[in-house]
């Protein structure tokens, strides 16, 4: 008796994969960190101040909100634009989700002047 040939189903019929919102948020925060690491003014930001992301996922679409701290002076608009593009690209490439919106909120600015003033204080 001949063995039955295995049936190969199309990928869409084999099952489903659900990626949790918090996983997508971690991907987005990491992607934002990748961009900010290349910004010279970001050296003014304390290393423990990493970007924070929240995500809303509906079907195959992820909407991302990021909170970042940036060094000042610097081209804030250009940095935020780079973060937006990179986060959308990374989330799409790693999850397969469409990312129509990446909102970047600047939570705090860090300047060299303020740092020098705070270092000179005695507590």
40 part of a folded domain: yes
2 part of a folded domain: no
pLDDT given at position 64:
98
5 part of a folded domain: no
8 part of a folded domain: no
Q: How many domains does the chain have?
A: 1
pTM: 0.81
Distance spanning both ends of the chain, measured CA to CA? 88
Give the position of tokens 């060299």: 112
96 part of a folded domain: yes
pLDDT given at position 16:
78
6 part of a folded domain: no
CB of 71 within 8 A of CB of 45? yes
pLDDT given at position 120:
54
Give me the half-sphere count of Cα atoms (radius 13 Å) on the Cβ side of residue 43: 4
Block means of pLDDT (10 residues each) for the chain, 123 residues, are: 72 80 97 95 92 95 97 94 98 96 97 64 53
Q: Which domain holds residue 36?
A: 18-117
30 part of a folded domain: yes
4 part of a folded domain: no
Which CATH number goes with the domain that contains 96? 3.30.70.1350
pLDDT given at position 121:
54
């Amino acid at each position: 008796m001949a063995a039955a040939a295995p049936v190969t189903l199309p990928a869409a019929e084999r099952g489903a994969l659900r990626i949790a919102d918090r996983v997508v948020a971690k991907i987005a925060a990491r992607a934002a960190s990748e961009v900010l690491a290349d910004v010279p003014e970001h050296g003014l930001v304390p290393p423990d101040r990493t970007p924070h992301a929240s995500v809303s996922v509906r079907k195959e679409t992820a909407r991302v909100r990021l909170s970042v701290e940036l060094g000042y002076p610097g081209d804030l608009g250009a940095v935020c634009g780079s973060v937006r593009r990179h986060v959308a690209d990374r989330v799409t490439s790693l999850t397969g989700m469409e990312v129509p919106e990446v909102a970047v909120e600047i939570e705090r600015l860090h300047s060299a002047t303020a740092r020098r003033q705070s270092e000179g204080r005695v507590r």
